[in-house]
Amino acid sequence: MKRLRTFKVITELSHRPFLVHDYHTMPGAFERLMTPWERLIVLRKDPSMIEGAVNEFKVRLAPFIWRTWLAEHRNIERGKGFVDDQRKGPFAYWSHRHAIVKNRGGSILQDDIEYSLPMGVIGDMLGRRMVRSRLEKMFEWRSTRLARDLDEVAARPAKKKVLVTGSSGMLGPQLCAFLRVLGHKVTRAIRKESNPLIGEPEDTPPVLWNPYEEVPASLVEGYDAIIHLAGVNIGEKRWSQSRRAAILSSREVPTHHLSEAISDLRDPPLFICASAIGWYGNRGEERLTESSEAGTGFLSEVCRSWERATGPAVVAGVRTVFLRTGIVLWGVGGVLERLHLPFRLGLGGPIAGGNQYMSWIHLDDWVRAVHFLLQHEGADGVYNLTAPSPKSNARFTRIFGEVLNRPSIAPIPGLAITALFGRMGKELIVDGQHVRPQRLIDAGFRFAHPALRPALREVLGRE
């Protein structure tokens, strides 16, 4: 016998019902509202929200346990809401009603979910608390992010036509999704072997490019901005001689080709090029801003070559912005994913004494900062994309352990890191930089996540 359960969330928003509804129909809204700690693979996604549209996903219920989920949109009424019904999935029954009602100049979004678990009474007894907990975490995240995104939409940013390279990493998909929900036209430049994004908007299909060949003017012409994020993953493999060469060339060569193509245009776009705080090298406790000198080491060499490769565009007077990004916090991928398991097992602790600084930034603030610079007509040159409160490794790991409710007292010697990962381990883990985002702050950017503890709580679903 099925046991029907209900779950309800009421979110007060300072935005009119039509805006709330239209946000949910925008390309990128689904990606923006997915929690960063859940694993989900999109198999089929209808880019429109029309009656009967079906989306298909694979969701991870537990380690090594995945299920297919088919969801159908119905009862769609602009400004009043819609319903998502499970047609196939992990639940015996699932129906999610999004109701939007006017409320004192704003609106109320009411999420009403009815569901029942498989295996009848037994499944309900075993799984109801876990499901309830996951739903509470999920909708706390969704409500917070929805309100923030709507604030950005309501600010009516100037709509831009943007080309993005490197859109398949950890940063690119979230940036593309954010720009799309704000109404920008985003085109992804992908390599031939890259898979097209499922549910790509029909009016901005991806374009093919080979980053190691000369870029034709037609690829970059007609855009308001080029956001260049492409490059081989620095922390994916040990730095052999061939790997170091690949890391360097994957940044230097494509950037130079793009820069040359942009410099030849009569009406060139804003050129936003990725970089990293590795530019400063290992600097101990020295406080670093955009005016600080370059450091030494392989990462510094890579970042210096990366930024120099924009030379043709800079010389031609193209407005060029460099994103010197720090450690990006997100629930899936990056540093936190690598730290998560050992800390959950109680094996985490300060590394190499813990005195090195970790200059971090929440992924949402990184995305918002890139958009801020895209909109800011005076943006030019170097910007540090880090939160205003860098932490020593000892402090960072202690807070991380507290957020996970785990001890963080198992010190890891620097020699062990170097022995395991070689030069990569030393420069990425043992070394550090105390970086401040001075130019972002001076330009008026406001961080949504200036403090580490609440930032970690949010991306890990531990609020």
205 and 56: one domain?
Answer: no
State pLDDT tens for residues 82-137: 999 999 999 999 999 999 999 988 999 999 999 999 988 888 888 999 999 999 99
Contact 181, 9 (CB under 8 A): no
DSSP code of residue 215: P
Res. 343: pLDDT tops 90: no
pLDDT at 345 over 90: no
The enclosing domain of 326 has a CATH number of: 3.40.50.720
Give the pLDDT score at 194: 61
For 427, counting Cβ atoms within 10 Å of its Cβ (0-12 exposed, 13-18 middle, 19+ buried), the class is: buried
Q: Describe the crossing of helices 334-344 and 393-403 by its angle, rounded to 10 degrees.
A: 60
Give the model's pLDDT for residue 195: 60
**Residues 254 and 176 both lie in one domain:** yes
Domain count, the chain: 2
Mean per-residue pLDDT, 360-371: 98
State which residues form the domain around 236.
Answer: 161-460
Domain boundary among 136, 154, 172: 154
For the purposes of burial, counting CB atoms within 10 Å of the CB of 80, is it exposed (0-12), middle (13-18) or buried (19 or more)?
middle
169 and 149 in one domain? no
Per residue in 12-45, pLDDT (tens digit) is: 999 999 999 999 999 999 999 999 998 888 888 8
Contact between residue 280 and residue 271 where contact means Cβ atoms under 8 Å apart: no
> 10 and 138 share a domain?
yes
The residue among 128, 154, 180 that closes a domain is: 154
Local structure of residue 430 (DSSP, 8 states): I
136 and 195 within one domain? no
CA distances from 319 to 153, 214, 272, 367, 449 (A): 25, 21, 9, 20, 28
- Please report which confidence band the pLDDT of residue 308 belongs to, taking 50, 70 and 90 as the band edges: very high
Average pLDDT, integer, range 288-307: 96
Evaluate if residue 347 carries a pLDDT over 70: yes
Is the pLDDT reported for residue 416 higher than 80?
no
44 or 327: whose pLDDT is higher?
A: 327
| Residues 428, 414: Cα–Cα separation, whole Å | 12
Q: How confident is the model at residue 193 (pLDDT cuts 50, 70, 90)?
A: low
Q: What is the pLDDT of residue 430?
A: 85
**Domain boundary, last residue among 154, 175, 198:** 154
Give the C-alpha separation, 304 to 4, whole Å: 60
H or E segment and range at residue 56: strand 54-62
Whether 330 and 452 share a structural domain: yes
Least confident piece of the model among 56-65, 91-100, 133-142, 311-320: 56-65
Residues 206, 110 share a domain: no
Q: Whole-number mean pLDDT of the chain?
A: 92
Residues 271 and 310 in one domain: yes
Show the tokens assigned to 125.
Answer: 């007894």
pLDDT the model gives residue 297: 93
Segment 214-237, tens digit of pLDDT: 999 999 999 999 999 999 998 888
Shared domain check, 300 and 444: yes
Whether residues 225 and 101 share a domain: the answer is no
φ and ψ at 234, to 5 degrees? -70, -35
53, 170 Cβ separation under 8 angstroms: no
Are 419 and 278 within one domain? yes
Give the pLDDT score at 275. Answer: 97
Q: Which of helix, strand or coil describes residue 265?
A: coil
User: Tens digit of pLDDT for each residue in 374-412?
Assistant: 999 999 999 999 999 999 999 999 999 999 999 888 888
Instruction: For the chain, give the percent of residues with pLDDT over 90.
Output: 75
pLDDT computed for residue 238 by the predictor: 85
Mean pLDDT over residues 152-163, rounded? 96
Decide if 362 contacts 370 (C-beta within 8 A): no
Q: Which helix (H) or strand (E) holds 358?
A: strand 357-358
Do 112 and 174 share a structural domain? no
